[in-house]
Structure 1
Amino acid sequence: MNQSFPKAEKLKSKKHIERLFAEGKSISKFPLRLVYLKTGLPEETRIQAAVSASKRNFKKAVDRNRIKRLLREAYRLNKYRITEETDASYAFMILYLGREIPEYEKIDHKMKQLLALFLEKETGKKI
């Protein structure tokens, strides 16, 4: 079980991100929202992910960066759930919708619920 988050798995392409928001599907588990789109990524990179926190809700860059670090860590530790259950490739954007800086435990718990909801919706498997 590889728990790294290498550069190849980071969603950075402006084209892919625009297409993700234009054509992608969305699921939410407050305070997180996952926007996802099935893509044609190379075999070794099945999922590319990015995280975001709203500038409207968090004026200070320090706060936004803290939230994004928490989101990336929770995703990194729980992404194996998706890679083990599906063979398709996806682009993910994980958005933080809350208005206060969360604790890691809350983010981790909600990330697990969000990924389980994604798997249930996409593969029909309940975890």
Structure 2
Amino acid sequence: MHTFKKEERLCNKKLIDKLYHNGSSFLCYPFKASWLIVDGAQVVPAQILFSVSKKRYKRAVDRNLIKRRMREVYRLNKQQQLYEVLNAADKKIVFSVGYIGKEIAAYEFIEKKMQKLLTQLSTELVK
């Protein structure tokens, strides 16, 4: 199940506002994650939003490169590190991952840190 479909993307403006106003967050450099447990009729266990600061990365090419790398790492690791925990706990979440690094990181670095972020998120949800 290494896919990343439309249902898994967080697009609902009301949910995004709720996430940023009522959600919890933590830092896992170079990422900042915000998450919120939702109780709606959601099809997938988790919906995610990726963001990269326009202030820090002026060129859209750079922002798109970072988001593309983040999406790919998430797509490959979500099943074993996040979905299994959510299904076992019978929870549904929405979360966002913002890139706060100072320079464009290599894919391997982003992969290692995203795995750490997903593990940390899983432990936060089990509490």
TM-score w.r.t. the length of structure 2 is 0.92
Pairing 1:79-90 to 2, within 5 Å after superposition: 79-80=78-79, 81-86=81-86, 87-90=90-93
Structure 1: 5+ residue stretches without partners = none
Residue number in structure 1 paired with 2:123: 120
Show CA shifts across 1:70-121 (max 9, x none): 1111111111111111220000100000111111100010000011111112
Aligned length: 123
Structure with greater helix percent: 2
Structure 1 counterpart of 2:94, one-letter code = A
Residue number in structure 2 paired with 1:16: 15
Distance 1:34 1:41 in 2: 21
Contact 2:35 2:94 survives alignment (8 Å): yes
Contact 1:41 1:90 survives alignment (8 Å): no
TM-score w.r.t. the length of structure 1 is 0.92
Distance 1:41 1:60 in 2: 37
SS at match of 2:11: coil
Structure 2: 5+ residue stretches without partners = none
Shift of 1:43: 5.3
Aligned-pair identity in percent equals 37
Distance 1:42 1:83 in 2: 16
